A and B are shown apart, each in its own frame.
Chain A
């Protein structure tokens, strides 16, 4: 994937409009991005094309205890014109590498149940639906809440792939530890 990769910086917030002016990409308050940069800078990556247009970015973190120590994908977004170039997969790959380096057992993420494109992409990348979180996404307009798939991919440390065996297939958001 023809891309310039580097760590995300504060300045990038001034340039991410083309990526963020997308109905499925949330723009958060500055403190949200800064807390990620302050705590997990290596988990926040940006991809640029040769003309230095921002193609997309990924932000994540590492958390948990014991065998629950894992990487988490908080946001992955690719500008419309750079989709279907495997960029999302490439960025996920890098986040997995960072999590592997940090000796995580797995990487997990939440995705809207209805977002077939994303769910299929994650499946292709080796993620499985670990469990369903009921009504994880609350509708801001007062409409129907939506379930999330909690998807996971075991990392090299999890030799027996225990991390993808769930105790319960369906849980409520309150039962989530992270």
Chain B
């Protein structure tokens, strides 16, 4: 036992190291730790602090080495253990915390603190069985209830994660149940967390009746807090699960009469009613429970009548109650029966609601799902007519000079138009009528004298959204780029006047993406302050466009940002689990685990990981860099099933205003998600091929082998290191082709079409397969000697690759510059924007990527071909026979490199031409002239309009030139690789 004095001395010595660490002065912390260690060689705590300092200073190898020394010393003091845990957490090696505490616990077996830390270390790695035994040990020794509950929770988790459901049902859960009941029987249940865990176990076991008994027991009443007002009471939920529909119905009637505006109670009423209506015999206690349409209509009418009495606040609840009731009747084909038994016509029910709430921005969201109940055209017309009448009536009764009334009237008008759109009125218009209506709505927005807030969007901004949607309808059919540009200008005007409108910004991101302009997409994304979990739900908006439009620098940064989030949230999630244990929040443990596992499999997580590795390798790799340091290794695991990924993309962030039949739907999202996974499968094969070819080649060196025993030495490579089996496996998977090469044209606000159709057109997949065949043939010749048919393989594959690249380069739509039609001067869109072919941006970027991929494969083969050439020269010097095949291989290789170089040169020329075009024509000053400045300034909104177009032009100019510049750099980098390679 150290004396007080020596303890104080140690603390005194360690203090400066702590201070340096706290201040982030890691270098000084290392020096100070060294000083202390010199003075006191056996002071483990100083070594631990040095480990942390080394890690933080970036000397992770040394940190790890010293940490293993510390582990061997088997520290047991709190400071050293906590310090080592901190180091493991910071260096992402939390799996090493358990062995550390296991060793300490063996040496100091009766230490509660140690065991608690050991338990938590198992929590970090979902080691449920060990959590259980540790918690049991803790409870046995210290008899503290939380330890018992940690033990029980471990059983619950074993059950929840058991692959064998029977085992969960028959072993883990009954065990948990028994342990709680024993604890309860002993009169030890003392906290709400314990009751909640008991209820959780019973719920998982499907023992609802018993759960109800527990809920109604004295102990639960004593320990559990009262139900939060408006929440669905737990007993009601359990009774529903138990099939006690009458009881639920009777109780929810009572609750509804007390609070007719609660959707929780309305759902409880309707869920129970549905069961009783379908089969009243399902439940014996039917008296007073509602099971006929008349009864349901009765309570709805009663609730509506009550609130229409004088002085009552009119609530949305009862009106939505009757609509929801109608929807449910319609689901079981009994709506007509409903009408026969007193239910109002659907349009009248809708109008009842709008009569009170048409002026509220929530109106559309509240009732959009019930519009489908308007089955016939006449119902739709009556509803729309009714809306007009309501608006006119309101207008009559209000003083028009009052600004607030004017505003409310405009809100009613906009909402009515949104209803009309959803009900198909826009769909039936001719294109010219759509354009006219679009203009009208946009002008309404521009002329509105509303005081717009900088922090809150206005409902009247929907004037712009309506105007935009009308043009997008035409664009969907015609693909006319002019319309997209007009949409961009209108949305820019909206965002300018109403900067808090994120909906307009999300539309803009999509418009700019379709126009091939990435920079405004990224800017808008930034202004919306999208971060953390929003990467997983909204990141797809940028992801689709960044690499595909040739912005590889931005792509890399965006992916890294997303990866930082996924990495941190995983760590945070695990630490939050520990908080749950400490606070007895057992339900949250299951929830957090589910969430963490789902984020691990997030599409965006995998996509950004893939894309950052891909960009690093394909766009940035320099021939002297080690390829194996550029990839996330887990991406190379071809056994990971990409089909297991989960889709967290949030499309609902944009309200769907399209008519039935044209709406974004779950099937489209699912189909697109499957395509995204198919794309990732290809991306993984491509990354893996580049990795295995590149890194394996970097890892082998030629060796002299005794080839035929006659002193005729031949230099060969060791084929075991080249992993031919993996390459063949990749080739087999590549040859399977895409699951589907066509992709549906989704709605504008729906999923974004993947890159598959364009890659298919460019024969990207085929080219990768050809390149692998080429590389395999070269490598095999170098390792095992040339086959007879090797030249045929090499010639065929190399010429086909070049042919495919050339064909894509010369394909339609590859030119940046296009002739625009003669009307452009008189059009309301600057002609300069029409002269640039935005589709070419994505096509060119793909060509660049394919060129780079090709060059990397070919460059990687240099080592083998060069060795063949050296060998030839050696033999020539020694006047020995030279293999003609090898000579042909060398020549073919040089020819291949030269052909690719020529192609690259042509690409660079084209980039330069294009840059010139942008520099010459997209200067804002010149454009202002083309926009007929005077003409515009004569109009009210002329100056604004001019500024907006200039903004769009500068976005176009910046986006296109950045894309071209980055592509050009990549091509030049690969050209340099090829030139070096061809010289051998």
Contact = CB atoms under 8 A, between A and B. Distances in A.
Contact of B459 (A30, A45, A81): A81
Contacts of A53: 365, 652
Contacts of B587: 41
A70 B983 CA distance: 78
A134 interface: no
Interface string B470-500: 0000000000000000000000000000011
Given A21-B528, A27-B533, A97 B228 contact: yes
B392 interface: no
Q: Which of A23, A27, A102 has the most CB of B within 10 A?
A: A23
A101 B226 contact: yes
Contacts of B263: 2-4, 48-50
B576 A93 contact: no
Interface in B317-366: 317, 320, 324, 360-362, 364-366
B534 A85 contact: no
A169 interface: no
Contact of A11 (B231, B232, B580, B595): B595
A22 interface: yes
B502 A21 contact: yes
Contact of A80 (B231, B457, B569): B457
Contact of A2 (B317, B456, B568): B317
Contact of A30 (B368, B369, B572, B653): B572
B229 A31 contact: no
B652 to A, nearest CB: 8
Contacts of B543: none
Contacts of A123: none
Contact of A38 (B368, B537, B583, B652): B583
B592 A34 contact: yes
A29 interface: yes
B365 A31 contact: no
B591 interface: yes
Interface stretch (A12-20, A125-133, A151-159, A170-178): A12-20
A27 B534 contact: yes
Contacts of A9: 591
Contacts of A55: 362
A14 B533 contact: yes
Contact of B537 (A4, A14, A81, A94): A14
Contacts of B580: 38
B324 A50 contact: yes
B650 interface: yes
Contacts of B529: 23, 27
Contacts of A37: 576, 585, 588, 591-592
A51 interface: yes
Nearest to A9: B591
A49 B366 CA distance: 7
Q: Which of A7, A17, A38, A80 has the most CB of B within 10 A?
A: A38
A50 B169 CA distance: 36
Nearest to B192: A42
B571 to A, nearest CB: 8
A42 B532 CA distance: 24
A3 B229 CA distance: 12
B912 interface: no
Nearest to A86: B313
Contact of B579 (A17, A27, A39, A42): A39
A4 B528 CA distance: 28
A101 B533 contact: no
B573 interface: yes
A81 B225 contact: no
A30 B570 CA distance: 9
B13 to A, nearest CB: 32
Contacts of A76: none
A74 to B, nearest CB: 16
Contact of B569 (A1, A31, A90): A31
B230 interface: yes
A161 interface: no
Contact of B650 (A2, A15, A23, A101): A15
Given A49-B362, A98-B228, A41 B576 contact: no
A35 interface: yes
A82 B316 CA distance: 12
A27 B538 CA distance: 13
B650 A17 contact: yes
B366 A34 contact: no
Contacts of A11: 591, 595
B455 interface: yes
Contacts of B528: 21
Nearest to B228: A94
B417 interface: no
B361 A10 contact: no
A22 B502 contact: yes
Given A2-B261, A23-B500, A50-B369, A102 B225 contact: yes
A83 interface: yes
Interface string B203-235: 000000000000000000000011011111000
Nearest to A24: B455
B369 A38 contact: no
B226 A41 contact: no
Nearest to A26: B529
Contact of A81 (B317, B361, B499, B583): B361
A30 B532 contact: yes
Contacts of B228: 5, 42, 45, 94, 97-98
Q: Which 9 A-B pairs have the closest CB atoms?
A: A31-B572, A34-B576, A21-B502, A10-B595, A2-B316, A38-B579, A4-B263, A81-B361, A30-B569
Given A22-B500, A94-B230, 16 more contacts: A4-B267, A5-B231, A9-B591, A11-B591, A14-B537, A17-B653, A30-B569, A38-B592, A39-B585, A41-B587, A50-B320, A81-B362, A83-B456, A85-B360, A94-B228, A101-B225
5 contacts: A5-B264, A28-B532, A31-B572, A50-B366, A51-B366
Interface of B: 225-226, 228-232, 261-264, 267, 315-317, 320, 324, 360-362, 364-366, 368-369, 454-457, 459, 499-500, 502, 528-534, 536-538, 568-569, 572-573, 575-577, 579-580, 583, 585, 587-588, 591-592, 594-595, 648, 650, 652-653
Interface of A: 1-7, 9-11, 13-15, 17-18, 20-24, 27-31, 34-35, 37-39, 41-42, 45, 48-51, 53, 55, 80-85, 90, 93-94, 97-98, 101-102
